[in-house]
Structure 1
Amino acid sequence: MNSFKRETWLRIMSMFLLALTACLVGFDSQTKVIFYTYKKTATFHVLDVLYVLVWIDVAAAAYNLLQLITSYKFQSYFTKDLTASYRYVAWGIFLLDQAAAYAVFGVTAAAVQGSTLAITGEKSFQWMKLCNRFTRFCIQIGGALICGYIAAVLMVITASISAYSLFRIYSPKRFLMLKPK
């Protein structure tokens, strides 16, 4: 299996997991009645980081879809003609893959930290535990965060493949040459 097929499958799997994470977090809600008349609903708007997680995951999934569409369209051109313009495209893909992987990993780690506070609470700030009342909500958010971490790992692997594709363009003699001849 060549690197193009591996990268394609990794992008498809990470796109699926990112969409799954965004849907699990975005559509998750649970309502409880407190004191017989007051209804409290837990949604992803309870924690601001979950709101950011949904939008970052949607953007990263859309980026992976765009990369899939453009890579199939231009695959034959790039493999036959290794001109200077391909180097700029390869650098752009490499930098965007790195940015997407770091953004997904960072927002997922921040969501785990925020969710940990929802599980444990904080007595010094008088923050209540959220998950002792909304258990189904918290379990579904936990499953979404696991999917988000798996997607982040797949995106890191995809970024390493794009790094390999970029740096194989440069030959060792030309890359390490200090003075032009």
Structure 2
Amino acid sequence: MSENEILSWTKHCSLNWSDFKAEHNPASYEDSHSVIKYGFTWTVDSEKMGNDILFLIKNIQISVEFCPLLSSVRTSETNDQLLRYEQGRFDLAELVKRENLSRLQTMFEGKTFPTRGKNEDQRKQLAKEDSGKMIAQEVEELQNILEKRLHEYDETTDYGNNLEKLSEYGLKFEHLKS
């Protein structure tokens, strides 16, 4: 893994303590800290209709990304239960993505949007910029949903200390890996 790489969620990806590469703050109350965010890609096409150029957004893909260089663990506290808790946070991000992806795709795909700019080349360039901003705004909302769900997960599992609740969440995440 290179210095700037992230780990993308897949059904075969399991976190290891070696993935937590940031130096842990000894003053932190947390025994571990993971940074999980959403990345996205898309295709933008333009279409001329009369004198107007409109753009279309297609192939929106959202990825769940674990950031090793921003994630840390107190080495004296590494254990399987805590790692299971952190894996649950990663899995929860995938679950939230799946619950919201079709809504996000429906919002954009198959629709046309007006372009701005003085000529055809500029309009095409601005269509790419504008479509990225539009999707980024929705991905930010998705990140907000995730933050609320992670807070609920943290509270419910008592940051991984409540084995019963941790197991209940584990059952919810099993279907993600099949």
| TM-score after normalising by structure 1 | 0.29
State the structure with more CA Rg: 1
What is the TM-score with the length of structure 2 in the denominator?
0.30
Q: Which has the higher helix share?
A: 1
Which structure exhibits the higher relative contact order, with contacts defined as CA atoms closer than 8 Å and separated by 6 or more residues? 1
